[in-house]
Structure 1
């Protein structure tokens, strides 16, 4: 009796142990469970969906193609080739950054970079259409809206919503900034689309020939720190100007020319160091400009143009004091650096950093 009871207890314990194992086997370990994903994380992932940027690019291209076609149809002189502008749209670089999600509304900054070759070509043929330069067109059209222009990239904040369902994927844009971007870029690139051959006064001309014959004055581009020009050579000294203007027969033969001029007081290494310092100052003033809010930038553009004109005038006067070409360049550069550094201190007072 005693033995049986003892065995019975062993059987019961064995059954209980098997039951516990079965229960544990039925419940997966906590470490195997997927961590819960918050609503905010899901929304941000939707905003960053890899198909969003291609959709933005395609919408922008369609807008530019549509606006280019409309401009070509309205061009009574038939100078504009809409297909050229559409091809230019394919070369634009579109980038998206600073993506945020807020109450199912996505926000991102869109940068549309216009290759310099496109801007240069559009500026070259702008007189044929009697247009301003592309940079000035963009500046004028971004003065009173949410768009910005830094000399090569047009920037805008874009609000949109994403339906991530693979069967019904869609991006819905809740503001008009994407269309506005397309309109501004199309206007800037219209002169890029000037046909290779155009008809002027009944005569077929290449666009380069038409450009040479154009009597349209070039529009003055707004001068900005982004577009600070490299050092221009100083004007020739008075005696050099007179020698260049003198008739050929009055100039002395080569055998009778004066002996070689003495070495310049400014060595080539010193001049090269000045050029490097000028490049550094150029970079610094561009950075100072980029650190200013766009609205404040717009108010400073005219003032910046007046400063640039004064600087160039004063530095040309400084260059005239040089005894030779190297010294004149050196004085011009030193003047430019000094005034640029002074201007940087002024612009830093408006910095958002």
Structure 2
């Protein structure tokens, strides 16, 4: 009897284990949304932000003031971005996505950058040659304005949010190289060379030794004695000297530029003033009081500097154009400086 019961117990245990085995769900690798459109949008946003930072940093530190950062920022919005052959893989036991990322500079923008390149890089090398030198030894490929590299990422997509974690800094490196290629595209229509306003086309025809020593492509970001805003009202206006009336000599040859360029300069200046006002309102009121005297002195310094820039003009319209460029640049710099005091 004892042996029979023991046999039955073993059989029952075996059946029980088999049942448990059947009920246990099989573990499967979670499916990632590798081809979700949010991934490409996330890449686009990152690329544009990095190019914006690079362009503003260069323009801020370029003593010659050849670059209009807004032109480069606008060009970044026109980049053609594609994510091909996206597929899920496994890395260190975890699921991950990989894809071929291609970012192409439009032909018209690349052609303009190619033309202006000597003004920035002081070299006879093409944009392609300069880029190839920068990316040598890396996995990044470049061909006729198109940057290509395989990227690895993990998308986190939900109904409310879409985030992407990148395995490495590949996207950042691509953005920095694209920024270098776009930099000459941002050269202004009118440049100040040796104290004289010169049209960009004429500057390109000048002896290249006039601009053989450009500032570094990645300058140290140091902000001091930067621009200002009219946010302080009449009290500040009284503390600032009245603007000088400019009367260029009539015999000087006038450098012409389009109405669109002057209108764009006015638009850029208005945007810069709106931004510095927004930044100022984000600063705690007690901190504002401490900065008030510094800000007023700084407004006067900005006005003096921009009057000097405008004094190089050949006409009243050109003087206004140069003044706006100076004012916009310094106001952006001051905004960046003031952000260090903001609450958020």
Q: Which structure has the higher relative contact order (CA within 8 Å, separation 6+)?
A: 2
TM-score, normalising length: structure 2:
0.49
TM-score, normalising length: structure 1:
0.48
